[in-house]
């Protein structure tokens, strides 16, 4: 299998963490690309018509995308139960919340990186941050018991989302008022899979 990826991508990090946690990391060749929302790498476009990473090219079937589909596939392949039936809806909702944080954070980053300076729209950036702040607060208020439970895909997604906030939007201070989540993230970041995939 081949994973179309880029090291700074938090969605790629989710898949890499899952590969390590499922023991499948040695079965996948990493194909690193450089791509942006306005300049899609040809390898990305060939793997995923939407033009987004990651994409998992398989020998035995169609290419898979996006990160949630890939992570679910890897878990099923390895039989590791990162999507446990007993709490499947909670796990999926937590994963969706974390991905929503990433969607909003990436929109903020792209607004400054991709648009010409004179076209940057500050109210848009602040609206995206409100989504991030609400979601982080909701996880801190409602999801700590889940996060402290057995490892699942929701935890991996939250860990990667918070890592991306530190990487690209550290000055925004997501930790303020979210002490329980901050403590959890500090401990979760010590996992070998998180250390091995930390953004540079």
pLDDT, position 42: 92
Question: Do both 141 and 188 map to the same domain?
Answer: yes
Query: Residue 41 belongs to what domain range?
Result: 2-78
Question: Do both 14 and 63 map to the same domain?
Answer: yes
Question: Do both 72 and 124 map to the same domain?
Answer: no
Report in angstroms the alpha-carbon separations of 46 from 49, 53, 56, 62: 7, 11, 12, 12
Given 49, 78, 107, which residue is the final one in a domain? 78
Q: Output the domain CATH number for residue 11.
A: 3.40.30.10
Tens of pLDDT, residue by residue, the chain (200 residues): 999 999 889 999 999 999 999 999 999 999 999 988 888 989 999 999 999 999 999 999 999 999 999 999 999 999 999 999 999 999 999 999 999 999 999 999 999 988 889 999 999 999 999 999 999 999 999 999 999 999 999 999 999 999 999 999 999 999 999 999 999 999 999 999 999 999 98
Question: Do both 70 and 100 map to the same domain?
Answer: no
Q: Output the domain CATH number for residue 188.
A: 1.20.1050.10
How many domains does the chain contain in total? 2
Secondary structure of 121-151 in the HEC alphabet?
Answer: CHHHHHHHHHHHHHHHHHHHHHCHHHHCCCC
Two tokens at 148?
A: 């402290």
Two tokens at 91?
A: 């796990």
């Amino acid at each position: 299998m081949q994973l179309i990826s880029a090291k700074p991508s938090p969605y790629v990090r989710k898949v890499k963490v899952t590969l390590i946690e499922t023991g499948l990391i040695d079965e996948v060749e990493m194909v690193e690309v450089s791509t942006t929302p306005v300049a899609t790498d040809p390898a990305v476009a060939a793997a995923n018509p939407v033009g987004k990473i990651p994409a998992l090219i398989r020998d035995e079937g169609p290419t898979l995308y996006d990160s949630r589909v890939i992570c679910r596939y890897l878990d099923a392949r390895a039989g590791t139960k990162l999507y446990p039936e007993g709490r499947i809806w909670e796990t999926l909702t937590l994963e969706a919340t974390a991905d929503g944080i990433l969607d909003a954070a990436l929109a903020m980053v792209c607004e400054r990186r991709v648009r010409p300076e004179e076209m940057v729209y500050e109210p848009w950036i602040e609206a995206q941050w409100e989504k991030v702040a609400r979601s982080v607060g909701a996880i801190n208020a409602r999801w700590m018991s889940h996060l402290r439970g057995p490892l699942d895909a929701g935890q991996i997604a939250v860990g990667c989302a918070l890592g991306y906030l530190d990487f690209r939007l550290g000055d925004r201070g997501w930790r303020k008022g979210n002490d329980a989540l901050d403590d959890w993230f500090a401990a979760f970041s010590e996992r070998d899979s998180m250390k091995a995939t930390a953004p540079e």
